[in-house]
Amino acid sequence: MNETHITTDVVVIGAGPVGLFAVFELGLLDLKCHLIDILDRPGGQCAELYPEKPIYDIPGFSVISGQELTDNLMKQIEPFGAVFHYNRMINNVKKLDSGGFKVIDDEGQVYECKVVVVAAGGGSFQPKRPPVPGIEVFEDKSVFYSVRRMEEFKDQDIVIVGGGDSALDWVLSLQPLARSMTLVHRRDNFRAAPDSVNKMKELVAAGKMKLILGQIGELNGENGMLSSMTIKSADEVLSIPVTRLLPFFGLTMKLGPVADWGLDLENNLITVDTEKFETSVPGVFAIGDINTYPGKLKLILSGFHEGALMSQAAKRIISPDERIIFQYTTSSTKLQKKLGVK
Amino acid sequence: MLLLVTDQKGVKHELEALDGWRAMEVMRDWGLNIKAECGGACACATCHVFVDPTWVDRLVPALSEEEAMLDTVADTQDNSRLSCQIIMSDALDGLKLTLAPSAAK
């Protein structure tokens, strides 16, 4: 498939619960969607922050986990054939003279659509940057938050920080090609898979790598290239050589490029009306945690409501001449046909 | 009851706290620089605080879930806690906390 140019009715930015349910409401009105998300799977915060945590305020479910809610929504929207694009961030939303929008992601993929729905929650999930003064100058030169090319790490003095699976997996993968390997973690207790932890401890016992209990102190180097760093441990500060640093502290949400799309913002949230949940740019809507209006509550159920009203407004933009009949899925055979009810 | 907080810039705040509120919620409600992105589910560690040494032992100890989340911040100290796991009560009137750099919005 030639992926350079996609045309669709609606681009939904963010595949969290609210973005997913918007597909349902838009689908009942025959609108086709493409969803884009920076994560590698649907669910947004429900998938990344609390997949196993119970949620008690989803109407009709006395308790449901973030992952179950996501799975249920995916099943519910299946009839509408939405297309998902994962691991991508939208850099740009441009209004076209012809009406409609051109949306461009960080891989250069272009989506042409009539309506844009921003359902981006708290923004994009991005790696947590350790609050170490001056770390920015080393980023992408000698400090990395992911491993793109193993070659970059060959014969280097590598320091990996963290105690989860990413940290341990990369310790084991990069240790054979490193000049030296050090794992830094705040305590002698790891969330990572026990098997990886055992393998790491065997390497330490064999003198092939070091494990230091502590936290990142200062970074030293020139022109973005690290030469040494300090590790603060319980009762001492150690200085160790380092030429590649990989901090793995998980993800956090950053507003990101949304701020540059010309939408009116208030405290990093997109202002919308409460009839259509439309932004200051006609044809661009914002639903869920990313929007704000008087009385806003950041609840999943509020986002569902916002998606339903937004869909009516989107339909009027996309099919201005069509009369919209309000129907219930319980009684409408037309809607049931769309849902594949037999 | 009062919650005494020093923010990331060193500014001291005396916050009126309510019984049963999480320390995180008090700080958020008063508009301090606290991200608290998971909303109190012990699922993110962006409400990280340092507890004044005189108060450390008077708090309910951290569960393993909280310790595991603290693994995802780079600036922990021995007195690190997640403020969403500290529930205010009369016994904690006057609790002194310092917001960690990693809790900033």
pLDDT digits (tens, 9 = 90+) for A263-318: 999 989 999 999 999 999 999 999 999 999 999 999 999 999 999 999 999 999 99
Asked if residue A79 has pLDDT above 90, the reply is: yes
Cβ-based neighbours of B103, under 8 Å, separated by 6 or more: B8, B33, B34, B35, B36, B46, B47, B48, B49, B83
Where does the pLDDT of residue A342 fall: very low under 50, low under 70, confident under 90, or very high at 90 and above? Answer: confident
Question: Cα(first)–Cα(last) distance of chain A, in Å?
Answer: 33
Q: Are A288 and A279 spatial neighbours (Cβ–Cβ below 8 Å)?
A: no
Q: What angle do CA A55, A327, A60 make, to 5 degrees?
A: 20
Q: How confident is the model at residue A1 (pLDDT cuts 50, 70, 90)?
A: very low
B 13-72 residues with CB < 8 A to A: 35, 37-39, 41, 43-46, 67-68, 70-72
C-alpha R_g of chain A: 24
Percent of chain B with pLDDT over 70: 100
Instruction: Residue A282: name the closest of A263, A265, A254 by CA.
Output: A263
Residue A13, amino acid: I
Give me the percent of chain A exceeding a pLDDT of 90: 92
Closest approach of B30 to chain A, Cα-based (Å):
15
- A131 and B68 within 8 Å at the Cβ level: the answer is no
Q: Looking at residues A39-67, what average pLDDT do you find?
A: 94
A66 touches chain B (CB under 8 A): no
pLDDT at A3 over 80: no
CATH of domain B2-103: 3.10.20.30
pLDDT at A23: 98
A50/B74 touch (CB, cutoff 8 Å), yes or no: no
Domain boundaries defined on chain A:
5-126+252-338, 129-249
| A46, amino acid identity | C
Max avg pLDDT among A98-102, A230-234, A244-248 = A244-248
Q: What is the CATH number of domain A5-126+252-338?
A: 3.50.50.60
pLDDT at A235: 84
Tokens read off for A287:
């639903």
* pTM of the shown model: 0.87
Q: Assess contact for A75 and A82: CB atoms under 8 A.
A: no
CA A230 from chain center: how many Å? Answer: 32
- Count of beta carbons in the 10 Å neighbourhood of residue A236: 9
- DSSP alpha helix (H) spans, A250-340: 300-318, 333-338
Nearest to A273 by CA among A289, A291, A297: A291
Residue in the structure block whose two tokens are 């500060």? A237
Domain A129-249 in the same topology as domain A5-126+252-338: yes
The DSSP call for residue A342 is -
- Cross-strand pairs, A220: A228
Q: What is the percentage of chain A residues whose pLDDT exceeds 70?
A: 99
Which secondary-structure segment (H or E) carries A169?
helix A165-174
Say yes or no to pLDDT of A233 above 80.
yes
Pick the CATH number of A129-249 from 3.30.479.10, 3.40.980.10, 3.50.50.60, 2.40.110.10: 3.50.50.60
Distance CA A120, CA B14 (A): 35
pLDDT for the residue A110 = 96
Confidence of residue B1 (pLDDT cuts 50, 70, 90): very high
